[in-house]
Amino acid sequence: MAYEFDWSSIPNSLPFLAEGMLVSLEITFTALVVGMVWGTLLAVMRLSASAPLRWFAAGYVNLFRAVPLVMVLLWFFLVIPQLLTTFFNLQPGTDVRMVSALVGFALFESAYYAEIIRAGIQSVPKGQLAAATALGLSRFQAMRLVVLPQALRNMVPLLLTQAIVLFQDTSLVYVSALADFFGAAYKVGDRDGRLVELLLFAGAVYFVLCFALSRLVQALQKPRVQH
């Protein structure tokens, strides 16, 4: 007997699904910003003349890139509540799932952004840094004012591509029972007995958003015509 689709539960569940989408976007934006900032610092440390800084950054990047994201989220879901309870004297049962997810995603993504940014820095000709220091800038000023702006322009497509992957990965917060967009769709579908319809709807939304961003990435990757 053929499956009979019934999409009637979707319109009434849109407010709940919108709340889930806000959770997904909040995680994506926070992990993107923190990941880029911390990733930039890690990239600079990996290129530093200081061996301890290079070792620390390389160890951090290799550790997080070698461990599945779902395992990292589970670690932080178990560890962060204990740390917050100890240092901030929180009441037992305080909901810190969102904080755990934000910390886990931000620290995990920073390892990937560090490699993207390091490659972007290395794509800038070394003569740029030498010329900046010859003009009297310190190495830090030359990196901040000359090298990094050029590197960031080169890295925009890769950074956006990683942001797309990050948005898709937010569905993994199910390990902490957070109601992100995917989790909200699953709960509504399970509640109404229309799991197939809700998961298809969620997949369609993910496709539309990610496809639109991927087209933007393709547009940015096209060589600019010189007039």
How confident is the model at residue 226, as a pLDDT?
45
Q: Which domains does the chain have, with CATH numbers?
A: 12-221 (1.10.3720.10)
- pLDDT surpassing 90 at residue 192: no
**147: pLDDT confidence band, cut at 50, 70 and 90?**
confident
What are the Cα distances from residue 213, in Å, to 68, 168, 205? 25, 12, 13
- DSSP conformation letters of 43-79: HHHHTSS-HHHHHHHHHHHHHHHTS-HHHHHHHHHHH
How confident is the model at residue 223, as a pLDDT?
58
Mean pLDDT calculated for residue range 42-59 = 91
Mean of per-residue pLDDT scores for the chain? 85
- pLDDT surpassing 70 at residue 202: yes
Does the pTM surpass 0.85? The reply is: no
Phi, psi for 118 (deg, rounded to 5): -60, -45
How confident is the model at residue 227, as a pLDDT?
43
How confident is the model at residue 181, as a pLDDT?
93
Q: What is the rounded distance in angstroms from the CA atom of residue 126 to the CA atom of residue 151?
A: 12
**Contact present, 48 and 54 (Cβ < 8 Å):** yes
- pLDDT surpassing 90 at residue 179: no
Structure confidence by residue, pLDDT tens digits, 53-105: 999 999 999 999 999 999 988 888 887 777 766 776 766 656 678 888 898 99
Among positive and negative, which fits the CA dihedral 108, 112, 115, 120?
negative
How confident is the model at residue 76, as a pLDDT?
83
Mean pLDDT calculated for residue range 130-149 = 78
How confident is the model at residue 1, as a pLDDT?
60
Phi, psi for 92 (deg, rounded to 5): -60, 140
